[in-house]
Amino acid sequence: MISELVSFALPAGMSREEVIAGMREVAPNWRRNPDLIRKTFLYDPEAGQTGALYLWPNREAAERAHDQAWRERIRAKYGSEPTIRYFETPLVVDNALGAIIDA
């Protein structure tokens, strides 16, 4: 499995409510992605950044989801360039599901 950490700067003055509304707007699209195992939305008001932590079966799935068209949408909507980091994820403890997910 691969964890993908995505972050990008928000436009100056964007409120918490606007950020969360944007998250709610795109959540159903991510729910329909058959490769996505989990997505955790992130928001840092002090740094003026948002993003997400994704869990994918492999890096190829992550790269398909965050292709050039996706990057262009982020630039158009938020005026910033997303930063992406990948991490090998050998094990996940999920207390909400009561499970340990082993790659």
Residues 62-97 pLDDT 10s:
999 999 999 999 999 999 999 999 999 999 999 999
The tally of domains found in the chain comes to 1
Tell me what pLDDT residue 100 has.
94
Provide the residue range defining the domain that includes 59.
2-102
C-alpha triplet 89, 30, 93: angle, nearest 5°: 30
The domain that holds 98 is classified in CATH as: 3.30.70.100
CA–CA gap between residue 47 and residue 12 (Å, rounded): 11
Average model confidence (pLDDT) for the chain? Answer: 96
Residue 22: CB atoms within 10 A of its CB come to 17
